[in-house]
Structure 1
């Protein structure tokens, strides 16, 4: 019953998202819109809402996969250096392939994100104390180091403003014809569901997973590849969405457990709902202007993340 309520709330939030903005479009006018309203609805509002649903679901599922593979509840692409490594890849693409397409930039970002994530995994395996709080803190420091390198070279190459504006999570620029790459993440979500049982077993530890016949290394590489590619696409098309991949899977697991086959679509739906609500708030807080949704997600997400960290530290 609770699952049904979640998805009903998601549908309601998605419908509300279609009718919130500078251009006035009311639900009562939906069957007799003028040309301007039709243009706004189909060129910006619908793509924006679809992007919100897909980006929220993808970010949440990526966090869920990483938490299983690292056996840590506070690891996600934003706390493991994945997104920062993808930013480094985008900087490399902007320098060496200035006229490259969005797809080519995504591929370069994916390669750097995958290598950065693997480096983080190798790093935490060498930690003597792998408690729930230490691992994400190491990940944040690792990501900040990479981010500092990106900022330094972007400043030296006079790309800092371009990088900052382009990578800031903002759905205001999502329009028809410029966001369709995000659909690539949908097959990745389906793959994650099909291999959810394998990820759940891998989350029980290498020794146990190997003992029951699972090829732990292959599953880990496959999962990290899904996370890296999906995160890179979200970063290129939308921008950064901090902490979403941490807080949503944690909240879902509190109520529905850690069986990924059961919680994956719940986490996806909850992530979409959370992102849509944050986007509505971003549009409504200083109308007719709007703040970047990454700011709203970051503020709310960081508060919840700190509360989760404190709760984990007490255990």
Structure 2
């Protein structure tokens, strides 16, 4: 289960600055689009919080995708293809049933623990595979996610929580208001931690033997990386729902352009991840204006198409 090593390419700082400018333009468009007339109250209560939430969630989920691809050493994995987000949803249903009055932070903590357990279960299953074909790994993750999702749906149906579950599992920013998104600032801090430890994640992505020879505690780095992924996934699911395939699309695009160095690629991954979520949100708000299509739905269509493209491109062809 190896990652194809690409040559590291350099990009001038002006290119990244151009990406930031493009992100700011998308953010400006997001702030101005809406049914209600623009006023200071609408801006500060709804439009600006929604745009900030889009940027934070998009950047963090894209970075999580890069971390998972490095640590698992597979280009096809990200939280929505290995059961991480489904496990977070199961955790939310469990804490809702056992402690319906629990504070939001408690629900987030339980969801993060379930997400971490789901991710470790995926890694355990992958290690037990006799043959670790690159394409089989995400397919196993999707099947594991399907099993966890089926269990979650059964519990939600049995306890009349299907509507609540659907709100968690659909990435929708229409309900974001001031006071209901601030938990996402936590994921911004975790993105900073990921950037500070980027070199360690790059070395860990070269395999355990290489990491040990380089003097790196491979298990500790993997634990830190998976903890970041699990907490970010839980926070995003609790706040806005699931945004599928984002962590698959963006890191692969950046890797094609810049290579596999995490420190060089992380800023681009964060900027493009935030920009892609903003673009999907704008599309969803304009296609059926004045109604909205959830961001998770738009990203799911685009991400699934990209996933199939990459799978077909990498799949071996018979002569």
TM class, shorter-chain normalised?
over 0.9
Give the SS at the match of 1:91. helix
Q: Deviations over 1:231-267 (max 9, x none)?
A: 1000100100000010110001000000000001100
Q: Does the CA-based 8 Å contact 1:132-1:313 persist in structure 2? A: no
Residue 20 (str. 1) matches residue 22 (str. 2): no
Q: Whole-Å Cα distance in 2 between the matches of residues 3 and 309 of structure 1? A: 29
> In the alignment, is the contact (CA less than 8 A) between 2:89 and 2:168 conserved in 1?
no
* Greater than 4 Å deviation, 4+ residue runs: none
Q: Which residue of 2 aligns with 1:6?
A: 19
1:165 Cα deviation after fit:
2.3
Please tell me whether the aligned partners of residues 68 and 202 of structure 1 are also in contact (alpha carbons under 8 angstroms).
yes
- Name 1:120's counterpart in structure 2: 122
CA shift digits 1:65-115 (9 cap, x unpaired): 000000000110001110011011000111011111221110000010011
Match of 1:154 in 2: 156
- Distance, in Å, in 1 between the alignment partners of 2:293 and 2:208 is 44
**Counterpart residue number, 2:133:** 131
Alignment of 1:92-241 (within 5 A): 92-241=94-243
User: Please, which moves more after superposition, 64-73 or 15-24?
Assistant: 15-24
Q: Which residue does the alignment assign to 1:308?
A: 310
Deviates more, 1:229-238 or 1:164-173: 164-173
Q: CA RMSD in A?
A: 1.0
Q: Deviations over 1:3-57 (max 9, x none)?
A: 22211110110011110010133xxxxxxxxxxx111111000000000000000
Q: State the TM-score, normalized to the length of structure 2.
A: 0.93
User: Does the CA-based 8 Å contact 2:88-2:114 persist in structure 1?
Assistant: yes
- Name 1:296's counterpart in structure 2: 298
Contact 1:167-1:236 at 8 Å conserved across structures: no
Unaligned runs of 5+ in 1: 26-36
Deviations 1:112-136 (A, max 9, x none): 0011101111111121222221100
Distance 1:214 1:126 in 2: 25
- Measure the CA separation in 2 of the matches of 1:11 and 1:313: 38
Look up the match of 1:29. Answer: none
CA distance in 2: counterparts of 1:269 and 1:96, whole angstroms: 39
Identify the residue that residue 52 of structure 1 maps to in structure 2: 54
2:11 — aligned with what? none
**Greater Cα offset, 241-250 or 121-130:** 121-130
- C-alpha distance in structure 1 between counterparts of 2:93 and 2:26, whole Å: 35
State the alpha-carbon separation in 1 of the partners of residues 37 and 131 from structure 2.
Answer: 55
Counterparts of 2:315 and 2:55 in 1: how far apart (Å)? Answer: 32
Distance 1:170 1:102 in 2: 18
How many residue pairs match? The answer is 304
Rounded Cα–Cα distance in structure 1 between residues aligned with 2:45 and 2:270? 25
TM-score (normalised: structure 1): 0.95
Tell me how far 1:138 sits from its aligned partner: 0.4
State whether residues 169 and 294 of structure 1, in contact with CA within 8 Å, keep that contact through their aligned partners in structure 2: yes
1:81 aligns to what?
Answer: 83
Instruction: Give the distance between the partners of 1:223 and 1:5, measured in 2 at CA.
Output: 29
